[in-house]
Structure 1
Amino acid sequence: MNRVLPLALAAGLAFSIAACGNSDSKAAADDNAALKVVATTPEVADFVRQIGGDRVAVTQIIKPGVDPHDYEPTPADLQAIGAAEVVVENGVGLEEWLDGTIEAAGFDGTVVDASKGVTLRTDDPHIWHSPVNAKIMVTDIEEALATAEPAAAGTFGTNLTAYATELDKLDADNQAAWAKVPVAQRKLVTNHDAFGYYVDRYQLDFVGSVIPSLDTSAELSTAQLAALVAKIKQTGTKAIFTESSLPPKTAEAIAAQAGVKVIGGEDALFGDSLGPQGTEQGTYLGAERHNTATMTAALGG
């Protein structure tokens, strides 16, 4: 169910446009030749940049390190959506706020659900963690961009072909990395249940999560905490992996009780987000390579 857009947000749009109008005029003029695209999450924004190249001007709504499950739209988001020609979403219910925001912004362009064609796990929006799904997502995006900007369709198609090759290589590299980890040691515990598609693709054993949900708003009860500690001990799980967009405190407490190590800090997994823009982990490929390298190093040793 979509959240109701706060009235204050819609009311703030006019002020936001007036305040930003002068400073944004030059940027708008510079981007006149580019297709204006709003992308909701860091992952789909990176996909749009990879496929669109310099033929698109991308506004990314959710910034790196921000939990998308708790996101609340801002007046600047309405302004960006209202000015866009295409809006790209992850889909599968991740952006509960989007429909109301689009309506409030008066957007009448194309909305692209990048999950179209993906075989879904029940209520699990973290589809990008399988490179196979990522190929479907970028294909959906390429089709929408080519429809919106036919003059650049050749460029978008060429970029899709090149990026699909990169995704195939990522998948092959992931397969090779996990092949070096004994099957009995491929046991995963994370902050929340964000890696189901990854687990399925690479045949891992998902032991459990600190937050017992696909969403990050759930809380672990005392009984669930004790059960997770017991399961970690029983299965011989080696580590708990924290995530870049979630606090590590509870994971650290569980790890201490279970007698296992915590993988966090700079080694934290990218579950719901990417790294800072401009870094290797700020791209989908870089973040996924980081995740695989971190997990296989910790579990294979």
Structure 2
Amino acid sequence: MTTASLGAAVLVLAGCGAVRSEPSPAEGRINVVTSTNVWGSVVQAIGGSAVDVRPLISDPIVNPHAYESVPDDAAEVAEADLLVFNGGGYDEFVEKILAAAPRDRPTVDVSALADEPQQPLPESHAAEGHGHSHDHSINEHFWYDLHAVDAAADRIAADLGELQPARAQEFAANAERFRAGVGQLQEQARRIAAARPGAEVVATEPVAFYLLEESGLSDITPDSFVDAVEAGNDPPAAAVAEIQDALDARRVTALVFNPQTESAVTAQLRARAEQVGIPVVLMTETLPAGQDYLQWMGAQVASLGAAEGLR
């Protein structure tokens, strides 16, 4: 058969439906879409070679709070065998996609798995007498809530097991190993709490609220500063001055700094902390290149522990 006739034969076969359709999740790799690479890493740890994971946000300089979805994102969400997103208004672009086109396939909203996702932040997690109430309806940074991460791992393993029943035990075992790693992070946080109960810190954004709480630390950042940063506004001068005074007096043990929401004001506070010798602990919203969730969070917890004098 000539090359031309062979090509024609292939075209005829294709026209007759001889080309096989895409495999189902039970036959091939499971297509998983996540809002950020943080949850993508959690899925990868549990799904292993059975999953293809596509985070919609993986660039470390992108602020997920402000991310605007593109048409390709909606298509990815619609076609995913499993969708995992943070929820709680954090990755609101995913919630908008789902509102416009609801899914009938497995979907994990981590905010729904948190212990008490609809409860406000504590009335006060500052030192007595300072009155910082942080009265927000919800803190949406659930990947710093190690208990929520635990629950998400179990749910992801269960959903993957339903999509590929033959590998359900493998997913469950992977989740158990992952949760053991999370347990080690919890133990590190408990060591900080035991060593420095109530030690005061300030933060440029409440991204690490749950981890600070787990570590027994008291965030004395003024409410007006937190509210302004969360709203994308410049903090009041009085609030900035209050933080500067706390740094200058070495009243706080660390400045928790989110480089992904850095502004001229927060950069000045970081410089001030470094000038007076206050440790600056970086807490980010997405994974650095080349690290998985446990490596990344482990390094951050270790950095927090070092700021509190643990070695």
Which TM-score applies when normalising by structure 1? 0.76
Post-superposition Cα deviations, 1:23-43, rounded to whole Å, max 9, x if no partner, equal xxxxx78x9711111111222
Which residue is equivalent to 2:17? none
Tell me the secondary structure at the aligned position of residue 38 of structure 1.
strand
The residue aligned with 1:157 is 172
Unaligned runs of 5+ in 1: 1-27
CA displacement, residues 107-157 of structure 1 (integer Å, 9 cap, x when unaligned): 542221123331235211112213222111211222222223323212211
The letter of the residue matching 1:56 is V
Change (3 A) 1:256 1:78: closer
Q: State whether structure 2 residue 195 is matched by structure 1 residue 195.
A: no
Return the offset for 1:177.
Answer: 4.8
The alignment status of 1:230 with 2:245, answered yes or no, reads yes
Letter in 2 for 1:74: V
- Partner of 2:112, secondary structure, is coil
Give the match for residue 14 of structure 1. none
Q: Give the RMSD, CA atoms, in angstroms.
A: 3.0
Q: How far 1:293 moved relative to its partner? A: 1.8
The residue that corresponds to 1:133 in the other structure is 148
What amino acid is aligned across from residue 260 of structure 1 in structure 2? V
Q: What is the alpha-carbon distance in structure 2 between the residues aligned to residue 143 and residue 247 of structure 1?
A: 38
Counterpart CA distance in 2 for 1:45 and 1:295 is 24
In the other structure, the counterpart of 2:130 is none
Is 1:112 equivalent to 2:108 in the alignment?
yes
In the alignment, does 2:306 pair up with 1:275?
no
Question: Tell me, which stretches of 5 or more residues in structure 2 are unaligned?
Answer: 1-21, 121-137
> C-alpha displacement at 1:104, in angstroms?
5.2
Shift of 1:162: 1.3
| Aligned pairs for 1:287-298 within 5 A | 287-298=296-307
Q: Which amino acid aligns with 1:159?
A: N
Provide Cα deviations, 1:233-280, integer angstroms capped at 9, x if missing partner.
56711442322423264234235567634656xxx523322211xx2x
| Distance in 2 (alpha carbons) for counterparts of 1:64 and 1:262 | 29
Alignment of 1:253 with 2:253, yes or no, is no
After TM superposition, give the deviation of residue 202 of structure 1 in Å. 1.4
Deviations 1:199-220 (A, max 9, x none): 2211101121795148362431
Q: Give the counterpart of 1:212 among 226, 229, 242.
A: 226
Query: Does the residue aligned with 2:294 lie in a helix, a strand or coil?
Result: helix
- Structure 2 contact 225–239 (Cα < 8 Å) conserved: no
Number of equivalenced pairs: 265
Percent identity for Structure 1 against Structure 2:
22
Alignment of 1:87 with 2:87, yes or no, is no
Report which stretch shifted further, 150-159 or 224-233.
224-233
Structure of larger gyration radius:
2
CA 1:255–1:111: 2 relative to 1, 3 Å: closer
Instruction: Specify the alignment match of 1:19 in structure 2.
Output: none
Aligned to 1:53: 48
Q: What is the CA deviation profile of residues 70-106 of structure 1, one whole-angstrom value per residue up to 9, with x for unaligned ones?
A: 1111222123223212111111221211133235567
Do 2:193 and 2:216's aligned partners in 1 also have CA atoms closer than 8 Å? no
* C-alpha distance in structure 1 between counterparts of 2:36 and 2:186, whole Å: 22
1:96 to 92, 99, 108: 92
**Residue 78 (str. 1) matches residue 74 (str. 2):** yes
Q: What is the distance in 2 between the residues matched to 1:220 and 1:146?
A: 47
TM-score of the superposition, structure 2-length normalised? 0.74
Match of 1:271, as an amino acid?
T
